């Protein structure tokens, strides 16, 4: 038996960490730092390096160590089951080796353990759980197992004859931090651009250091997937003098400018050699927005729209617009697929969780399939969700990196064994917020394997000879990226924006900043907890609501108009406080009894000006009237605040004039009648010599009547009282 064990005691004087309890009350924590080779083969020497850490304040004596092996995990299902329910590592073991050293309280013992596959009785290809078992005495306790740790050993009985190709997507995405006024509301982006920050590590993981001869090697062949909103925000930071909220106060800062400028320069260098897939601006939840009828809002954010120009402007490259990568879950949404196909996408990144899995005994499907859309078939580039999920592991814990690398390689070994005679192709699609340190470590581990190669995502379609038959799950899963409490007001703001846009000649250009603010509020990359999303949505809703106040009627000084004629116009002053022209409809509505009628006026208001508008009016009567002046967009959205006006008129209206002229005519008629009778009476002949002395005040018909004797009228009797 080839067995070598090296123990070195390191006293932790002055630097020892406080004692803590180990899992299962075992005082010794076993940290495995590496296993070499990472993938075993017949005749190789397997070396495990690590350290024993005493997590208690009691020395551990009589230490003895051995390796134990579990049964081979030869399918991907076995590996998944082992993650949730680890198998017992009792199939084979090496003898215990006693150690002469004592593990001091809170002490550390580095170790190196070597063995061979033959000693472990490993034969068939697969992944084998290896358990490092340490026995000892903690203080006066009897001998027992004081520590254990399990790590996977991938193993090839025979090296595969075919190469397994890995295609890597590398998302560069961050939570948008600017509000509708383009003011940064946080500092997470600035921190991620600093050395050792998340975005800094995302570039460092794929950059290559110069060779010894000074030449610059090509970076790792990944395909960058970049959010243009991130480019825009980093460019603003790099320019210096940006606005940021600090404790609720807006300040001017340049603190992150140097880091941002350096990061952009590095990204430009990478983008010159690597393909760049454009994400929609701010990477919004496409499925959620389309489900609420906001198709036009989504279209404005796609790479063939204005946001696509940011790549050429900032990076100096043209993105690969034929490949689309919608957020998680959207690839199973027919509306999303139809829209992407209409806008020029011929390939779409999908998830295998959105398709029916092969059976337990079937091989892993190739990553190329087809999705039918109304515009024709789309090529689906299907990511492997298991491998992609492993990129999310946390490597900060002791020994976490070695365990993650071995688990990742175990998945690749088992996949390669499924079809060792045929080349395999796997697509890795990390989550948008993936940990680049983890992904970089696993990418480096894969690069050390001669049976693995790297393929460009853009070449994957040509590399796979026969697309796999997949069925997209139906119905499409509900999107839960944006909670309903945020989605409802956000959609309302988008509709209000469209109503206001009906008053504009070029809304897509003039409202570009607002559209991007709406997209940032609708991002699918919001951090945990609703607080950040609530604040972003409330801010942009207020910004959209403020649009209506930018156009309005300026009230007159005393609020009263005097009209001197029946058709005198009412003159109003309308303000457009926007840097673009708008078209509005001005109307006057009477309040109470109507006295004046007006005609609505459609007027184009120049940018940042006051415009005088004459409203045709027709006064129907004299007096004082109250009218309400208001303006609206062509879609009917009220703009500004309605203004109440008093209209004074001394002009007779048609009714008053009709009454006046009618009375005058009647008076003239009566006068004419009396005159006629008077002249007739003067021309009539008479035999009475005193006829000419008749009282002219007595009408002739009365004068000619016969005179009768007056009747004697008895006076009324007096009252006896």
Query: Which of 520, 548, 576 marks a domain boundary?
Result: 548
- Within a domain: 706: no
Whether 490 and 511 share a structural domain: yes
Structural domain contains residue 226: no
Handedness of CA 453, 459, 463, 469 (dihedral sign): positive
Q: Which domain holds residue 135?
A: 4-158
Q: Do β-strands 126-138 and 60-69 pair in parallel, antiparallel, or remain unpaired?
A: antiparallel
Q: Are 69 and 123 in contact (CB under 8 A)?
A: no
- What confidence tens digit (pLDDT) does each residue in 50-68 have? 999 999 999 999 999 999 9
Q: Please give the structure tokens belonging to residue 685.
A: 């002949």
Tally of CB atoms within 10 A around 571: 12
pLDDT of residue 585: 94
**635 and 596 within one domain:** yes
Report phi then psi at 341, rounded to 5: -65, -40
Give, to the nearest 10 degrees, the angle between helix 257-271 and helix 228-239: 130
Residue 620 covered by a domain:
yes
The residue from 494, 516, 548 where one domain ends is: 548
d(CA 59, CA 225): 52
d(CA 450, CA 396): 28
- Note whether 611 and 593 are same-domain residues: yes
Residue 701 lies in a domain: no
Residue with tokens 């001005």: 586
Helices (H), 153-274: 188-193, 198-204, 228-239, 257-271
* Torsions phi, psi for 437 (to 5 deg): -65, -45
The DSSP secondary-structure symbol of 315 reads I
Is residue 535 located within the same domain as residue 571?
Answer: no
**Is 576 in the same domain as 534?**
no
Rounded to an integer, what distance in angstroms lies between the CA atom of residue 365 and that of residue 204? 32
Assess if residue 622 is contained within a domain: yes
Q: Are residues 533 and 586 in the same domain?
A: no
DSSP string, 40-103: B-TTPPEEEEEEEEE-SSS-EEEEEEEEEE---B-SHHHHHHHHHSPPP--SEEPPPEE-SS-B
And the tokens for 8? 């070195």
Q: Does the residue 644 lie in any domain?
A: yes
- Token code pair at residue 77: 């299902």
CA contacts within 13 A on the Cβ side of 450: 7
**Same domain, yes or no, for 599 and 535?**
no
Asked if the structure places residue 93 within a domain, the reply is yes
The dihedral sign for the CA sequence 399, 405, 406, 411: positive
Please tell me the distance from the alpha carbon of residue 257 to that of residue 236, in angstroms, as a whole number: 8
Question: What is the rounded distance in angstroms from the CA atom of residue 720 to the CA atom of residue 250?
Answer: 106
Tell me how far CA of residue 357 lies from CA of 75, 363, 429, in angstroms.
14, 10, 17
CATH code for the domain of 578: 2.60.40.10
Q: Is residue 464 part of a domain?
A: no
Going 67 to 68 to 74 to 78, the CA torsion angle's sign is: negative
Note whether 12 and 126 are within 8 A (CB).
no
Q: How far is CA 165 from the centre of its chain?
A: 33
Q: Assess whether 531 and 636 both reside in one domain.
A: no
Beta-carbon contacts of residue 474 (< 8 Å; ≥ 6 apart): 332
- Residues 14, 151, single domain; the answer is yes
> Considering the entire predicted model, what is its pTM?
0.82
Q: 3-class SS at 169? A: strand
Three-class DSSP category at 268: helix
Phi, psi dihedral angles at 177 (to 5 degrees): -115, -10
Instruction: Looking at the structure, tell me whether residues 634 and 516 fall in a common domain.
Output: no
CA 263/CA 36 separation, integer angstroms: 35
Q: Please give the structure tokens belonging to residue 265.
A: 């320069």
Domain termination site, one of 158, 173, 196: 158
Compute φ and ψ for 28, nearest 5 degrees: -105, 125
Q: Provide the number of structural domains found in the chain.
A: 3
Q: Are residues 61 and 154 in the same domain?
A: yes
Cα–Cα nearest to 91, from 50, 42, 130:
130
Token reading at 475: 């119905």
Is 106 in the same domain as 39?
yes
Cα–Cα distance measured from residue 504 to residue 327, given in angstroms and rounded to the nearest whole number: 32
Per-residue pLDDT, 605: 94
**HEC readout, 501-545:** HCCECCHHHHCHHHHHHHHHHCECCCCCCCHHHHHHHHHHHHHHH
Residues of the chain with pLDDT under 70: 1-24, 209-219, 352-362, 420, 470-480, 527-529, 564, 592-595, 621, 650-658, 660, 682-721
SS3 171: strand
Task: Please give the Cα distance from 307 to 647 (Å, whole number).
Answer: 51
- Listed in sequence order, the residues at least 6 apart from 485 whose beta carbon sits closer than 8 Å to its beta carbon are 530, 534
Cis peptide before 475 (omega within 30 of 0): yes
pLDDT tens digits, residue range 360-410? 556 788 888 888 888 888 899 999 989 999 998 889 899 999 999 999 999
Cβ atoms of 313 and 350 within 8 Å: the answer is: no
d(CA 21, CA 572): 81
């Amino acid at each position: 038996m080839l067995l070598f064990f090296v123990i070195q005691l390191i006293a932790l004087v002055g630097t020892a960490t406080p004692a803590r309890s180990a899992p299962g009350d075992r005082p010794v924590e076993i940290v495995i730092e590496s296993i070499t080779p990472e993938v075993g083969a017949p005749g190789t020497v397997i070396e495990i390096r690590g350290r024993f850490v005493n997590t208690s304040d009691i020395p551990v004596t009589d230490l003895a160590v051995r390796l134990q092996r579990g049964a081979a995990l030869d399918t991907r299902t076995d590996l998944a089951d082992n993650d949730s329910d680890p198998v017992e590592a009792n199939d084979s073991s090496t003898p215990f080796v006693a150690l002469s050293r004592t593990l001091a309280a809170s002490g550390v013992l580095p170790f190196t353990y070597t063995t061979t596959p033959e000693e472990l009785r490993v034969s068939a290809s697969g992944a084998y759980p290896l358990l490092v078992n340490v026995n000892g005495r903690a203080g006066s306790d009897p001998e027992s197992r004081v520590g254990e740790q399990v790590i996977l050993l991938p193993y090839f009985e025979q090296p595969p004859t075919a190469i397994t190709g890995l295609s890597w997507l590398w998302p560069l995405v961050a939570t948008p931090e600017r509000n509708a006024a383009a003011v940064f509301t946080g500092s997470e982006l600035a921190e991620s651009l600093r050395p050792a920050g998340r975005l800094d590590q995302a570039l460092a993981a794929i950059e290559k250091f110069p060779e010894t001869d000074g030449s610059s090697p090509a970076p790792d062949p990944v395909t960058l997937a970049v959010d243009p909103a991130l480019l825009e925000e980093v460019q603003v930071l790099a320019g210096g003098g940006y606005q940021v909220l600090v404790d609720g106060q807006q300040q001017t800062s340049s603190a992150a400018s140097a880091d941002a400028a350096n990061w952009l320069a590095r990204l430009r260098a990478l983008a010159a050699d690597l393909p760049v897939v454009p994400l929609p601006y701010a990477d919004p939840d496409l499925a959620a927005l389309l489900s609420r009828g906001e198709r036009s809002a989504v279209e404005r954010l796609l790479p063939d729209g204005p946001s696509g120009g940011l790549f050429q402007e900032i990076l100096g490259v043209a993105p690969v617009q034929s490949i689309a990568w919608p957020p998680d879950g959207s690839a199973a949404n027919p509306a999303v697929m139809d829209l992407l196909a209409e806008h020029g996408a011929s390939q779409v990144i999908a998830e295998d969780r959105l398709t029916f899995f092969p059976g337990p005994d079937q091989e892993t499907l190739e990553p190329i399939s087809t999705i039918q859309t109304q515009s024709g078939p789309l090529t689906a580039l299907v990511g492997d969700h298991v491998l992609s999920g492993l990129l999310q592991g946390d490597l900060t814990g002791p020994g976490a990196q070695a365990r993650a690398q071995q688990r990742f390689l175990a998945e690749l070994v088992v996949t390669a064994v499924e079809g060792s005679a045929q080349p395999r192709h796997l697509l890795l699609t990390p989550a948008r917020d993936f940990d680049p340190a983890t992904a970089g470590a696993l990418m480096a581990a894969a690069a050390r394997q001669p049976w693995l190669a790297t393929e460009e995502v853009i070449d994957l379609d040509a590399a796979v000879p026969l697309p796999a038959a997949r069925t997209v799950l139906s119905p499409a899963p509900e999107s839960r990226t944006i909670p309903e409490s945020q989605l409802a007001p956000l959609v309302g703001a988008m509709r209000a924006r469209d109503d206001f846009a009906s008053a504009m000649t070029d809304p897509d250009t003039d409202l570009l900043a607002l559209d991007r603010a709406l997209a940032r509020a609708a991002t699918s990359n919001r951090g945990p907890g609703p607080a950040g999303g609530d604040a972003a949505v409330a801010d942009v809703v207020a910004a959209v609501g403020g649009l209506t106040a930018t156009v309005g009627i300026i009230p007159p000084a005393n609020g009263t108009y005097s009209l001197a004629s029946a058709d005198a116009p009412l003159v109003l002053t309308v303000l457009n406080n926007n840097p673009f022209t708008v078209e509005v409809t001005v109307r006057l509505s009477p309040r109470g009894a109507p006295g004046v009628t007006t005609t609505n006026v459609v007027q184009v208001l120049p940018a940042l000006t006051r415009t005088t508008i004459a409203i045709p009016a027709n006064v129907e009567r004299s007096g004082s009237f109250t009218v309400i002046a208001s303006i609206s967009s062509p879609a009917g959205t009220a703009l500004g605040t309605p203004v109440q006006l008093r209209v004074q008129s001394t002009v007779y209206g048609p009714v008053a004039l009709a009454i006046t002229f009618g009375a005058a005519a009647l008076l003239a008629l009566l006068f004419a009648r009396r005159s006629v009778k008077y002249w007739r009476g003067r021309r009539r002949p008479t035999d009475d010599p005193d006829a000419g002395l008749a009282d002219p005040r007595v009408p002739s018909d009365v004068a000619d009547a016969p005179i009768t004797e007056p009747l004697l009228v008895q006076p009324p009797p007096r009252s006896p009282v």
